[in-house]
């Protein structure tokens, strides 16, 4: 990025742009080198203008949600990192009656998915309890088809607003959305702006009881006292989870630099302090090798590795 690029960004985004911004400040892992520029955008107009400029100048662009499923390499990110704020942080219930008898709720991509879960809980709407405790944004949760306890974003999503790489906003209905296990197929360069969710009416007390149980279960199974990016590997096909394989291979507690295979949940790598991305990558390499040698199973990363 040259001087005139920086000048353009500063003139258009002022304090919303940060140069050489360490990604360790924006990932739940607390790991990651600097991005050339990180821009917080607040409106559709700002984001459209930025995309057009980035396309014209050939600048690479990455979307950052809450950084809760990201491992940014130590060298950082060349190009632009874009974060959605303000205008992408609202939740509203659609006034029209839902054909399902429930309610349709729209949320901006920058809303935290657990906040959306809390909103649903407070309004007696079922379908989002699984998201309580997931630290990502609505945009990130849709992109990853986040899920837990047998439910996922695909189950409740009725449509999505996207900004395509040509700077055009399009709405895509459920039938055209290609969700898969922890993934969503999107045209390259697409940015999720908003999602619409179809929720069911439910008894508030029963919903709350279910929510409490889910939160209790999460606390008992996952390490929350140390930074992480959640599950590091995808569950392989079959009955045995990635966590069980790593545990059976005796890898809990294994360390590389500041990174450790959690002693509480084997599919979490935690940052014990000052871990580098290279520590995490080395640990992931050793886990993959050991699990393959012992069980013949190739583990694939769930965490998105960038930089």
Ligand X SMILES: Cc1cc2nc3c(=O)[nH]c(=O)nc-3n(C[C@H](O)[C@H](O)[C@H](O)COP(=O)(O)OP(=O)(O)OC[C@H]3O[C@@H](n4cnc5c(N)ncnc54)[C@H](O)[C@@H]3O)c2cc1C
Under the binding rule (CB under 6 A), the answer on residue 304 touching ligand X is: yes
Structure tokens at 114: 């657990």
Of 30, 136, 195, 243, the residue at the interface with ligand X (CB under 6 A) is 136
**Identity of the residue, 65 or 102, whose beta carbon is nearer to ligand X in the bound complex:** 65
Alpha-carbon gap, residue 26 to 7, rounded angstroms: 24
Binding segment for ligand X (CB under 6 A), chosen from 30-38, 40-48, 141-149, 234-242, is 141-149
Determine the straight-line distance between the first and last CA of the chain, rounded to whole angstroms: 15
Binding segment for ligand X (CB under 6 A), chosen from 61-69, 194-202, 249-257, 273-281, is 61-69
**Identity of the residue, 201 or 272, whose beta carbon is nearer to ligand X in the bound complex:** 272
Catalytic site residue from 73, 143, 182, 194: 182
Under the binding rule (CB under 6 A), the answer on residue 262 touching ligand X is: no
180 annotated active-site: no
Alpha-carbon gap, residue 129 to 84, rounded angstroms: 24
User: Can you spell out the DSSP letters for 198-250?
Assistant: EEEE--HHHHHHHHHHHHHHHHHHS--SS---SBSBPPPSSSS-HHHHHHHTT
Beta carbon of residue 156, minimum distance to ligand X (angstroms, whole number): 14
Closest CA to 276 of 256, 251, 261, 300: 256
How many residues sit close enough to ligand X to count as binding (CB under 6 A)?
A: 31
Q: What is the pattern of x (binds ligand X, CB under 6 A) and - over residues 202-231?
A: --------------------x-----xxx-
DSSP structure class, residue 104:
E
**Identity of the residue, 124 or 167, whose beta carbon is nearer to ligand X in the bound complex:** 167
């Amino acid at each position: 990025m040259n001087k005139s690029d920086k000048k353009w960004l500063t003139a258009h985004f002022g304090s919303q742009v940060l140069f050489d911004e360490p990604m360790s400040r924006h990932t739940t892992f607390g790991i990651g080198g600097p991005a050339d520029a990180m821009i917080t955008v607040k409106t559709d107009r700002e984001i459209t203008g930025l995309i057009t400029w980035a396309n014209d100048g050939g600048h690479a662009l990455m979307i950052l949600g809450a950084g809760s499923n990201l491992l940014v390499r130590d060298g950082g990110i060349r190009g632009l990192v874009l974060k959605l704020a303000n205008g992408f942080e609202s939740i509203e219930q659609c006034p029209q009656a839902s054909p399902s008898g429930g309610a349709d709720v729209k949320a901006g991509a920058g809303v935290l998915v657990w906040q959306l879960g809390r909103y649903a809980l407070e309004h007696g709407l079922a379908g989002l309890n699984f998201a309580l405790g997931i630290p990502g944004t609505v945009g990130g949760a849709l992109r990853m088809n986040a899920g837990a306890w047998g439910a996922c974003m695909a189950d409740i999503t009725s449509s999505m607003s996207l900004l395509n790489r040509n700077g055009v906003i399009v709405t895509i209905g459920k039938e055209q959305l290609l969700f898969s296990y922890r993934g969503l197929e999107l045209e390259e360069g697409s940015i999720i702006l908003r999602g619409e969710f179809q929720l069911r009416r439910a008894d508030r007390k029963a919903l709350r009881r279910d929510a409490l149980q889910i939160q209790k279960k999460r606390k008992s199974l996952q390490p929350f006292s140390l930074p992480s990016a959640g599950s590091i590997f995808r569950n392989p096909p079959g009955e045995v989870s990635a966590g069980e394989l790593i545990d059976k291979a005796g890898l809990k507690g294994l360390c590389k630099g500041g990174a450790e295979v959690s002693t509480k949940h084997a599919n979490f790598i935690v940052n014990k302090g000052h871990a580098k991305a290279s520590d995490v990558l080395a640990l992931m390499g050793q886990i993959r090798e050991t699990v393959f040698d012992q069980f013949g199973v190739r583990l694939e990363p769930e965490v998105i590795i960038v930089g």
